[in-house]
């Protein structure tokens, strides 16, 4: 049986009037009554576009030429913006990006949660470029182009042929071309599909994913690259759940960052989850702790705690913090960070947060305040039974406005009022929206 093909896409350019933006920053137009999502188009513009995909309920298109430009349109700083899929909003003036994200959060609250905060927080923002310290770089040997290292092309599985990236931290960006040239010299140049990069405050680590065992000649070249560029080198073999460091030899497999407002030094493995924007994370942790305002006699619950990014700051002010994470490796990392920072009033637990855990021994005494920092899927199950703890306040940190809004509606039904909310510019130039909200129990 042959593979089912989608509807044929016309190659004829079409004119579209753009009336709005999607949650991921694409323009919204209409063609004969059908919605069209248009890459690199802004509200108020008339564009000439080419259809790229036809779906049953909508079509997708890419801008060929802007006929009438929006006043908010700016020239993208990056020469690869039209091709690379790493960013989606460089054509929109930066302050307008933040306004768009604020409006999106407000609309999601109303649409999915039926709520609106009593107070909107001022946006938390810093520099618009050069902020990204973590990335998963794709690697591909391409005929007549050599080895490409970078992000995927827009609406494509191909790797964009880029020479630099404006959102990456400059110290990582400066290594993109040397990295590609080095990989070109390897015997296994077509067996390395990706390189994970992570940057602490004083070091950069490259984790090379390789499909076959590397020969000694290739390992020597990786060691030489690490030494010449002062980059830590890790190997991640396919089919193995181990990642091991090969340069510098005899050093621990840790990077670190500081949270200066709390005098904390956080250690992490290059493959651990950490925020890509260190400086914004430093401001975010302070904002979250200030909003929750833990007191010296209070017990706090931190859900989806990771390596303790919020748990340890909370512990500097609260009587006791119970930190819960799904992944046991992160629980171990949390204890590691607590010990390194001489903090003894925090307990870490691994638990399934998709089921009711209120009967667990460590949860039975209840909590005065709660912090939640879930993945994009949100904390639906948690919010359904969170009221049993009768916490006075809940701070919810979110990377997805839709699931935050949905969960806000649940918390409202459980007796919590949305007091404050706002966006944090964790991912400038992209459609990703980081936000924070404060809920208080109504008496």
* Residues annotated catalytic, as ranges: 399
For residue 101, what is the enclosing H or E element? Answer: helix 94-108
Q: Are strands 434-441 and 393-398 parallel, antiparallel or unpaired?
A: antiparallel
Phi/psi for 197 (5° steps) reads -120, 135
Q: Are strands 34-39 and 369-372 parallel, antiparallel or unpaired?
A: unpaired
Tokens of 136: 């998963």
How far apart CA 134 and CA 34 sit, in angstroms, is 38
How far apart CA 199 and CA 133 sit, in angstroms, is 5
Cis previous bond, 248, omega within 30: yes
Q: Are strands 20-21 and 244-247 parallel, antiparallel or unpaired?
A: unpaired
How far apart CA 335 and CA 285 sit, in angstroms, is 19
CB count, 10 Å around CB of 362? Answer: 13
Sort residue 227 into left (φ over 0), alpha (ψ -120 to 50) or beta. alpha
What is the DSSP code string of 389-401?
G--SEEEEEES-H
Q: How far from chain centre, in Å, is Cα 153?
A: 19
For residue 164, what is the enclosing H or E element? Answer: none
Sign of the four-CA dihedral 275, 279, 280, 286: positive
DSSP state of 211: S
Q: Are strands 204-210 and 232-237 parallel, antiparallel or unpaired?
A: parallel
Q: Do 301 and 389 meet the contact criterion of CB atoms below 8 Å apart?
A: yes
Q: Is 216 exposed, middle or buried (0-12, 13-18, 19+ CB in 10 A)?
A: exposed
Q: Do 125 and 97 meet the contact criterion of CB atoms below 8 Å apart?
A: no
CB count, 10 Å around CB of 271? Answer: 16
Tokens of 130: 């050069």
How far apart CA 34 and CA 56 sit, in angstroms, is 9
20 by DSSP, 3-state: which?
Answer: strand
Q: Do 399 and 378 meet the contact criterion of CB atoms below 8 Å apart?
A: no
């Amino acid at each position: 049986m042959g593979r089912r093909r989608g509807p044929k896409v016309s190659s004829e350019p079409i004119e579209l009037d753009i009336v709005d933006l999607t949650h991921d920053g694409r323009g919204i137009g209409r063609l004969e009554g059908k919605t069209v999502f248009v890459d690199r188009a802004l509200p108020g513009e008339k564009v000439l576009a080419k259809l790229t995909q036809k779906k049953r309920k909508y079509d997708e298109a890419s801008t060929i030429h802007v006929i009438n430009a929006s006043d908010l349109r700016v020239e993208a700083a990056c020469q690869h913006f039209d091709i690379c899929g790493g960013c989606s909003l460089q054509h929109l003036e930066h302050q307008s990006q933040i306004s768009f994200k604020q409006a999106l959060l407000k609309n999601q609250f109303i649409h999915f949660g039926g709520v609106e905060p009593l107070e909107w927080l001022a946006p938390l923002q810093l520099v618009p470029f050069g902020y990204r310290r973590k990335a998963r770089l794709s690697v591909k040997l391409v005929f007549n182009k050599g080895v490409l290292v970078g992000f995927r092309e827009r609406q494509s599985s191909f790797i964009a042929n880029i020479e630099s990236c404006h959102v990456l931290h400059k110290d990582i960006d400066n290594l993109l071309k040397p990295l590609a040239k080095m990989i070109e010299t390897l015997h296994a140049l077509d067996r390395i599909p990706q390189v994970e990069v992570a940057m602490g405050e004083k070091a950069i680590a490259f984790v090379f994913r390789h499909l076959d065992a590397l020969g000694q000649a290739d390992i020597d070249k990786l060691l030489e690259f690490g030494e010449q560029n002062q980059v830590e080198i890790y190997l991640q073999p396919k089919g193995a759940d181990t990642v091991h460091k090969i340069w510098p030899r005899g050093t621990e497999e840790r990077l670190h960052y500081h949270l200066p407002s709390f005098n904390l030094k956080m250690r992490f493995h290059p493959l651990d989850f950490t925020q890509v924007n260190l400086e914004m994370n430093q401001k975010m942790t302070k904002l979250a702790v200030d909003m929750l305002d833990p007191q010296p006699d209070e017990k706090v619950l931190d859900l989806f705690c990771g390596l303790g990014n919020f748990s340890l700051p909370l512990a500097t002010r609260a009587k006791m913090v119970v930190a819960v994470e799904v992944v046991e490796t992160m629980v171990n990392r949390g204890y590691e960070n607590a010990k390194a920072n001489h903090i003894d009033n925090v307990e870490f637990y691994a638990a399934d947060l998709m089921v009711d855990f209120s009967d667990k021994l460590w949860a039975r005494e209840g909590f005065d305040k709660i912090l939640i920092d879930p993945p994009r899927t949100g904390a639906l199950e948690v919010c359904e039974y969170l009221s049993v703890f009768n916490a006075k306040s809940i701070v919810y940190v979110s990377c997805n406005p839709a699931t935050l809004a949905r969960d806000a509606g649940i918390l409202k039904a459980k007796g919590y009022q949305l007091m404050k909310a706002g966006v944090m510019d964790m991912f400038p130039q992209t459609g990703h929206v980081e936000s924070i909200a404060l809920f208080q129990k109504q008496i």
